Structure 1
């Protein structure tokens, strides 16, 4: 198994309740599963490295087999999903038992299927003239963890050639952001991998031939017809709608899958109109001091800390963006120091 006091992915915290009497404090079942996935997918290693990797993989799989009962008692959905995928990928003898635990952790609601620590609200809709209109997707707690967990579950279902995986695919696509990604970097990578595997296994590219007609009530003359085939399936197509108001209507004909998203951006100067995060994750305390002639020098002293202890004990990679006010510049000497 893998031993680590700090983890590259903050979702890989110390797994389950090992207790204070556990002789090895930092052993971690989800991190071990991640290593098994890596060792199983690499190929053609030179020299003695191949046999050594095979031995390490075999020992890690055996350790996961022996400790699978820990997930049944205390494992959260993320740990269950990544272990189930690792065991399926490595063809472990306990893969079927791990898949059973994965099914127990699934949540189903309104034709969607996903895995998460707590229930996620369904995509909001509003009925107008007996027609459903999707409302903007708002952030939810554990967004990144829920997406990555569900993506690992989808990889497991697709790898096992399970039926009825469409509800999982539908839920993942409802969690997309307008830039084509999801909540964070890691969950975007795994979700993209899972959807690609689903597309390849179900041979969607070979049957895709769609015609989409788009029109907006704000400008009846502005209409566009888009064609989606296997030749441009991975190429995004955009349509700008100036002076946007009202509704956007999309009519689709043909066979296959396509994702339509609407992105609307506007500036606000009142706090109550700003969409707040689902959970406050950081505390940022800035202190400014002025010095020099006419107080022309500004010194920043900024303290930031991770506060979302309910999700994890520490954050992942974090970036603090500090803007320089108009009329000021950074002194090169200070940057060099």
Structure 2
């Protein structure tokens, strides 16, 4: 039986701010039953800044593989937000600046490989027939913002702007080339409102004035459609932010008011959820429990809209902190979120909140103790607020007490890491794997094809971009020519081989079964070879997944046989 490293992060204090007071809270650590023996580890992490974890992991924010144009931008854009925030709060050091600028420069060059000749960008570059509207707008505004830190070719940007202008229809809406980032965000109606609002917002964030003709026509598109049909919660959140950028305060207030009626309130936190008819909620998560990517993105647009007001009252800032409390609780231990776009929008919102609430002369004390003679303390101040302080706990079960006091804000997070036996279950996908064309000779000469079949049966018409992660058997490696041929033939969009895993990128998976195969060969003698896992999951909605495994068809044969 194969196993996977599962990481669970249970955030106790997403945002604790004090003015000389002391707060205590008990924390009970629990573990699932089907653990791999001796695998659990427990840590406590303490930070003086919500962005501390992200700063420590700017090139490793997600638990997911990176191998396409959109994911590259998830590595690129957070560097801009971090540099802006640290510069504006006078915390930027030469070391951080040099590292972030290096990441931006490398990311810029890498992103150009996903650019089409017409100036647009797509998920897999020239392998895609057209550039993608959403991604092109995203890249355009990100490059414009990065220009204050690195060289960006003006000719490249001009070409991209011309492409975006040319795909605007006479009614002001934009043609939707390519896939929506996350189709869980697309409701029963068209996606003209969200697509157009996104492009308009991107142009405004890139520095174009509201009077820009493309923006004015886009606003007319939104006005027309929003009068003709109901607006979804996601569209309301995005429009609230778009109108904040445009400067239409009455419209922003209208949509913020509509959002407040739908807000979910729980344990001092505020957030929003997708409408039930196109939410993927209800499945058992492939990873640890976490809010959906769509819910995080939508909530963060609402937060951005609120924080973009010219003057925030103390009541509004308090309301914003309740939203931040929920958002921060969805972070993984690396500072990212469940997928790419929610990570980007969330970090943009969190950096804005941190900038608006930043204060110096802060001092906090955090004490963690248990009834098993464990007691440790952390000090957080202006000098170490960006430092991730972490300690390994002596036990992974039992009750701990956390006590926080002082002046200012502190962020406390326990993290459990453990290996768990691969569960044989699925949600939304069907996945099967079998071996074929097997050749076995002796103990060290084995080769066979691995045939992978997949289909989708979830709540939507199809999945988003999906990943099939095939783990190699011990002592076996993929046959690289056969893997490369799958990509060349268009059976899969992209393949990545990393250590003992092969990642296959699929544009989407539908109810119609897809099937492909590649060769696996032995390169080392290993005894008692255990089964290896194959995992399929939606890149954005990881609650939809399928898991299976395969074994060597050769076993421990010591004679030549072929079948």
Task: State the TM bucket, normalised to the shorter chain.
Answer: 0.7 to 0.9
1:212 equivalent in alignment to 2:360:
no
Change (3 A) 1:300 1:195: same
1:150 equivalent in alignment to 2:150:
no
1:246 equivalent in alignment to 2:398:
yes
Residue of structure 2 equivalent to 1:42: 206
Equivalent residue in structure 2 for 1:189, among 338, 344, 349: 344
Residue of structure 1 equivalent to 2:410: 258
Render the CA deviation track for 1:106-133: whole Å, top value 9, x for unaligned.
222343211112699xxxxxxxxxxxxx
TM-score (ref. length: structure 1):
0.75
1:159 equivalent in alignment to 2:308:
yes
Residue of structure 2 equivalent to 1:317: 465
Residue of structure 2 equivalent to 1:21: none
Contact map agreement 1:169 1:195 (CA 8 A) in 2: yes
Render the CA deviation track for 1:272-301: whole Å, top value 9, x for unaligned.
9xxx88xx2433221222522349322111
- CA–CA distance in 1 between the matches of 2:452 and 2:354? 46
Question: RMSD of the alignment, in Å?
Answer: 3.1
1:293 equivalent in alignment to 2:440:
yes
Contact map agreement 2:370 2:399 (CA 8 A) in 1: yes
Post-superposition offset of 1:302: 1.0
- CA–CA distance in 1 between the matches of 2:420 and 2:184? 37
Equivalent residue in structure 2 for 1:10, among 182, 186, 189: 182
Change (3 A) 1:305 1:54: farther
Residue of structure 1 equivalent to 2:419: 267
Q: What does 1:78-157 correspond to in 2, within 5 Å? A: 78-92=234-248, 94-117=251-274, 139=289, 143-157=292-306
Give 5+ residue unaligned stretches, structure 2. 1-172, 280-286, 486-563
Higher mean displacement: 262-271 or 147-156: 262-271
1:230 equivalent in alignment to 2:378:
no
Residue of structure 2 equivalent to 1:282: 429
Residue of structure 1 equivalent to 2:479: 331
Structure possessing the higher relative contact order (Cα contacts under 8 Å, 6 or more residues apart): 2
Change (3 A) 1:33 1:51: closer
Contact map agreement 1:13 1:28 (CA 8 A) in 2: no
Post-superposition offset of 1:256: 1.9
Q: Look up the SS of the partner of 1:177 in the other structure.
A: coil
Post-superposition offset of 1:173: 2.1
Q: Look up the SS of the partner of 1:257 in the other structure.
A: strand
Render the CA deviation track for 1:137-194: whole Å, top value 9, x for unaligned.
9626x61111111111011111123512222112212222333222222112211211
TM-score (ref. length: structure 2):
0.47
1:66 equivalent in alignment to 2:224:
yes
- CA–CA distance in 2 between the matches of 1:83 and 1:157? 12
Change (3 A) 1:245 1:102: closer
Give 5+ residue unaligned stretches, structure 1. 19-26, 44-49, 121-136
Contact map agreement 2:271 2:323 (CA 8 A) in 1: yes
Residue of structure 1 equivalent to 2:233: 77
Contact map agreement 1:290 1:299 (CA 8 A) in 2: yes
Higher strand share: 2
Change (3 A) 1:138 1:77: farther
Post-superposition offset of 1:69: 3.1
- CA–CA distance in 2 between the matches of 1:264 and 1:63? 48
- CA–CA distance in 2 between the matches of 1:259 and 1:225? 14
